[in-house]
Amino acid sequence: MNLTKLRRQFPALMQQVAGKSPIFLDGPGGSQVPQSVLSAMSAYLGYYNSNLGGAFFSSDKTVELMTNARQAAADLLNAPSSDQIVFGANMTSLTFSFSRAISRDWQASDEIIVTNADHFSNVSSWQQAAEDKGVKVNTALINEADCSLDLAHFESLLNNNTKLVAVTYASNTTGSINDIKRIVELAHAVGALVYVDAVHYAPHELIDVQALDCDFLACSAYKFFGPHLGMVYGKREHLEGFTPYKVEPAKDVIPGRWETGTQNFEALAGLISAVDYIAAISELDDSHPRREKLAVAFTKTKQHEMVLSEYFLTRLVNYPNITLFGIDDLDRLAERTPTFALTFEGLTPREVSEFLGKQHICVWDGNFYAQGLCKQLGVLDSGGVVRIGCMHYNTIEELDKLFDLFDQLL
């Protein structure tokens, strides 16, 4: 992977701010975007801005765009069919919408499981649906040693009354990856559905919804080098079987029955380009299917990200006044993303991020809507954590500059 060539595709990485090259270690909050994505969105808006169903060229172009976007998303997730992809404003809005439909037939004797590993978009939506129906909500804890889901505790909460499990693929705060395939097997054994939040996982590893056998999986394009756009994969029997809230004239066929209002077509143009950008990292020619290209590309980016993780963790051990939450074992790098949750002795997370921000190193601080995780770790009321998040476009040299500033700060 030619990192120099790759970085040149991102205008944000090439800019100067007050005479300095900014360093973006804020990827878990939203990645930077390559020029190809920006150009695709601009081209659609500039020449073809229209709605679906018209008897003219720009509407035809929009229909074609919608078809291509569904196929790009299906290739990214390995959905059996492109009509099992639902688009919406963002993952949170879509999840609230799906929670309303899925919970329609819940009874007071039913139960659901949410987790302390999750962003609350995949918690609050289900908690509120359960409250409306009088359904019991059980919360699975995390293993505090590595911030992965406590599978033993999760399994103890499952029973024949469990209707749904909502779980994240990877923590957006600590980077710990959960064993989704095992979680799905356990949930399905008692007849429960599984709704997976893959927002943080999607830019780091290839997703295969068929191999996971999950019922639903949600992610967001702005986390994998695209625009602000949410998407949900669903098994066909669920997309056709549950009854969504929709306007009456809308056709009652999938996936459109789940998509309210006019879609963000320029964002769909950006989505296609973002998926193709990732696929191009493979350096395979067009004789290879896009899914094959994506598999090779993610293998390359994962290898680079593991190098970044190893370097970061190796250097971090020299800072006894910095606490890491998450996997620190170099033999387990494949079980995490290059996302690191830190606290600094004697400093609040905000003080750290403000210090770094003045040097144009972009990092986040707070709880990142992972309220249950931060509460269990005991950092919720003290400002959460500092989150350092690498993407495949980050470099060792950038991490060196970060640690140089750690030295100054401490």
Burial class (CB in 10 A: 0-12, 13-18, 19+), 303: exposed
At 209, the pLDDT band (50, 70, 90 cuts) reads very high
pLDDT tens digits for 157-174? Answer: 999 999 999 999 999 999
Question: What integer is the mean pLDDT of 231-250?
Answer: 95
Average pLDDT over residues 351-368: 98
- The whole-number pLDDT of residue 185 equals 98
| All structural domains of the chain | 3-34+291-409 (3.90.1150.10), 41-276 (3.40.640.10)
pLDDT band at 220 (very low <50, low <70, confident <90, very high): very high
Kindly report, residue by residue over 11-68, the tens digit of the pLDDT.
Answer: 999 999 999 999 999 999 999 999 999 999 999 999 999 999 999 999 999 999 999 9
Percent of the chain with pLDDT over 90: 99
Which residues, 6 or more positions from 388, have their beta carbon under 8 angstroms from its beta carbon?
25, 312, 339, 340, 342, 363, 402
pLDDT value of residue 111: 98
pTM, to two decimals: 0.98
Question: Distance (Å, rounded) from C-alpha 8 to C-alpha 50?
Answer: 32
Q: Does position 283 have pLDDT exceeding 90, yes or no?
A: yes
Mean pLDDT for 309-322 is 98
Angle in degrees, CA 321, 327, 332, rounded to 5: 135
Q: How confident is the model at residue 250 (pLDDT cuts 50, 70, 90)?
A: confident
Which pLDDT band holds residue 305 (cuts at 50, 70, 90)? very high
Q: What's the mean pLDDT in 241-250? A: 93
Q: What element of type H or E holds 232? A: strand 230-234
96-138 pLDDT tens trace: 999 999 999 999 999 999 999 999 999 999 999 999 999 999 9
Mean pLDDT confidence for 356-365? 98
- DSSP assignment letter at 178: P
